[in-house]
Amino acid sequence: MTNAPIIPLTDNHQAGRRVDLSSGKYLKLWQGPQHPGITGNMSLELTVSGDEIVDLRTHVGYLHRGFEKLMERRTYIQNFPIVCRICVPEPDFNEYLYAATVEELAGIRVPERANWLRNLTLEMARLASFLQWIGGQTGAFGMGVIGQWGITHRDYVLDLFEELSGGRIYHMYIIPGGVRGELPEGFEERARAVLDKVENLLGDIERAMFHNAVFKDRAKGLGVIPREMIDSYGITGPNARAAGVARDVRKDQPYLLYDQLDFDVVTASGSDTYDRAWVRFQEIHQSLSLIRQMLTRMPKSGPIHTQLPNPLHWKIPAGQTYRRAECTRGEYGYYLVSDGSGYPRRVYVRGPSYTHAVALMESMAVGANIADVAGLMVSFHTYPPEIER
Amino acid sequence: MNTSYQYSYTNIEELLEILVEKGFIAPATEQQHATVIGRRQVQSSDLAFVTVAPEAARHLILDLRDRFGFTHLVLLTAVDYIEEGKFLLTYLLHNYELHHDIGVQVPIGREAAEAGASMESIHDLWAQAGTYQRELKEMFGIDFPGSPRVDEPFILEGWDEVPPMRREFDTKQYSETTYFPRPGRSTNDPADYMRQKLYPKE
């Protein structure tokens, strides 16, 4: 018979129903939609007893722009400026995955140097996103100064993106068939200087954040995700790795050039807010190392784009596919269905926050303290736009 | 080889053969005669799609989860085939031991928005499935009876139009009738406007 455990799910959804608000013992409290700890608008409806949370509901929809619907009305090339806007802090994963699904269905081969450049931008996006997350995580625990360090250093990475693509936030750099431009002259030296700067900062952050008694006190033991919840809630990325589950798409199903790069899957065992932060912190170090490896090993010349027919007349052969990549928050995926016409039949974007911010957050917040909710939510590293799409 | 589950297989083709034996899909030799149900499509060495009837879907999904090791529900979504009068639900499952994906596709009747299409819920198999089903109810009008909070709005608020992800919902027409023309706005043809501005006497 089956060995897979059948896990009883916490019926948090019904818990709130039993709360009798007229009893005077409970209070409804809203956090958001302008939430300080996250990128994007999402609100949390808390039902509290004293300062303990008895029920939490996630409300999304403040950033719904109907991207998936819009994409059905636009040609494949017109969708490029749209996909990157689905995730603000790391748009490159959207660009890469959309390009990869289109290329797979159309049978387009990408030159090797373009793959290196794609991989480089994905790691730079990871670095920028993690530096921004440090801002959210420390800010949520009242340590805003550390957050400002992180945000400042993120800006140095954005400077590199600006040089490379012309855009700081949305790059639209990865396009079907390759990438949009060459590395500017002297980019490698400037990139290495930024990496050194970030590395110096990490030493300070380790001392000020991870060895800080306040942070330790508040983050240790907060929001412990039990191992059994990982599969039943579809938890991926650092949230799963902090629970000791060594899963990383970069290792498990290597895409681009990750199988040629040297890195290990970072795990921890505590599965609390502190361990999740520690896993992400180690992944920042790892990201620096990966970018350095790529800068060293990347071929210095070669084509960066395949010759393609006029993009206004593209017809992608009928079919369907799913591609995934490991973003900072976990598994990011694109499911593309083509009916053979010039417009996609359906594009579905699977963002990791979809489960982390809704089902997981609603379960984990019960029993927590009002003051810890913001820190808990940032420790799942959620971004609302990828929930609403 | 995954060993900790009842059925061990090494590649996607083997998995599909087991599914043929169990009667979920048609054998390879009969694929061209199979109607929509029973069809398979191997996209790559680690991704395949199979189409089954709505009655068999939950059974197959449960089997894949507990007997084959597909423990991760990657996504649950629908594709609207308005010309054929059906929705194609896609449950994408992932096996973490072998790193294979299988998409279980289920055609369901595409009733009018008011009558509503319906499908069995899987919220008791994965906790996050309830969220997917809530979104499908709102965006496609597909009901999942018994799914927690399935009738509560997820993204939209106070929406009383056709569920917006259905193909018959026209975003352009909706925005034109809802938002334009705004009072106080006037539109100029750029060429005329500039000509009048530069050469007002003509």
DSSP character string of A219-287: HTTSS---TTHHHHTT--THHHHTTT----HHHHS--TTGGGS-------S--SHHHHHHHHHHHHHHH
Structure tokens at A96: 């890469």
Q: How many CB atoms lie within 10 A of CB A211?
A: 10
Residue of B41, B99, B155 lying closest to A253 (CB–CB): B99
Contact A378, A364 (CB under 8 A): no
Digitized pLDDT (tens) for each residue of chain A, 389 residues in all: 344 333 333 444 444 456 777 777 888 888 878 765 566 788 888 888 888 888 888 888 888 888 999 999 888 988 988 898 888 888 999 999 999 999 999 988 999 999 999 999 999 999 999 999 998 888 888 888 998 999 999 999 999 999 999 989 899 899 888 998 889 999 999 999 999 999 999 999 999 999 999 899 988 888 888 988 888 898 999 999 999 999 999 989 999 899 999 999 999 998 899 999 999 999 999 999 999 999 999 998 889 898 888 878 888 899 999 999 999 989 999 999 998 888 999 999 998 988 888 888 888 888 888 888 888 888 888 888 888 88
The total of structural domains in chain A comes to 1
Q: In this predicted structure, what is the pLDDT of residue A141?
A: 87
Q: Tell whether A135 is covered by a domain.
A: yes
ipTM of the complex model: 0.86
Q: Tell whether B162 is covered by a domain.
A: no
Q: Tell whether B170 is covered by a domain.
A: no
Q: In this predicted structure, what is the pLDDT of residue A10?
A: 44
Contact A339, A345 (CB under 8 A): yes
Interface of A with B in 171-230 (CB under 8 A): 229
Segment A172-198, tens digit of pLDDT: 899 888 998 889 999 999 999 999 999
CA distance B200 to chain A (A): 39
The Cα–Cα gap between A259 and A264 comes to: 11
Residues 6+ apart with CB under 8 A from B114: none
Q: Per-residue pLDDT for B177 more than 50?
A: yes
The answer to whether A233 contacts chain B (CB < 8 Å) is yes
Give the structural domain span for B56: 12-156
Inter-CA distances, A149 with A152, A191, A209, Å: 5, 18, 12
Q: In this predicted structure, what is the pLDDT of residue A2?
A: 40
A12-16, A263-267, B171-175, B182-186, range with the lowest pLDDT: A12-16
Q: Tell whether A48 is covered by a domain.
A: no
* Kind of pairing between the strands at A330-338 and A52-59: unpaired
Interface of B with A in 25-64 (CB under 8 A): 41, 43-44, 46-47, 49
Residue of A nearest to B127 (CA): A233
Q: Tell whether B71 is covered by a domain.
A: yes
**Total CB pairs under 8 A between chain A and B:** 109
Q: In this predicted structure, what is the pLDDT of residue A5?
A: 37
DSSP secondary structure code for residue B183 in this structure? T
Q: Tell whether B188 is covered by a domain.
A: no
Residues 6+ apart with CB under 8 A from A39: A88, A89, A132, A136, A383, A384
The Cα–Cα gap between A386 and A353 comes to: 7
The answer to whether A70 contacts chain B (CB < 8 Å) is yes
Segment B33-77, tens digit of pLDDT: 666 777 888 888 889 999 998 888 999 999 899 888 899 999 999
Q: Per-residue pLDDT for B24 more than 90?
A: no
Contact A30, A44 (CB under 8 A): yes
Q: Tell whether A278 is covered by a domain.
A: yes
Three-state helix/strand/coil letters over B138-161:
HHHCEECCCCCCCCCCCCCCCCCC
Q: Tell whether A361 is covered by a domain.
A: no
Q: Tell whether A7 is covered by a domain.
A: no
Q: In this predicted structure, what is the pLDDT of residue A12?
A: 46
Q: Do A333 and B127 touch (CB under 8 A)?
A: no
Task: Report if pTM > 0.80.
Answer: yes
Q: Tell whether A376 is covered by a domain.
A: yes
The total of structural domains in chain B comes to 1
Structure tokens at A366: 């019960």
User: A174-207: buried (b, 16+ CB within 10 Å) or exposed (e) per residue?
Assistant: bbbbbbbeebeeeeeeebeebbeebeebbeebee
Q: In this predicted structure, what is the pLDDT of residue B32?
A: 64
Q: Do A253 and B44 touch (CB under 8 A)?
A: no
Give the structural domain span for A82: 67-355+369-388
Angle at A185 between CA A181 and CA A186, to 5 degrees: 130
- The model's confidence at residue B3, banded by pLDDT at 50, 70 and 90, is low
Q: Do A9 and B127 touch (CB under 8 A)?
A: yes
CATH number, position B79? 3.30.460.80
Chain A residues whose beta carbon lies within 8 Å of the beta carbon of residue B132 = 354
The answer to whether A6 contacts chain B (CB < 8 Å) is yes
Q: Tell whether A99 is covered by a domain.
A: yes
Q: Tell whether B65 is covered by a domain.
A: yes
Q: In this predicted structure, what is the pLDDT of residue A345?
A: 92
Q: Do B79 and A350 touch (CB under 8 A)?
A: no
CATH number, position A347? 1.10.645.10
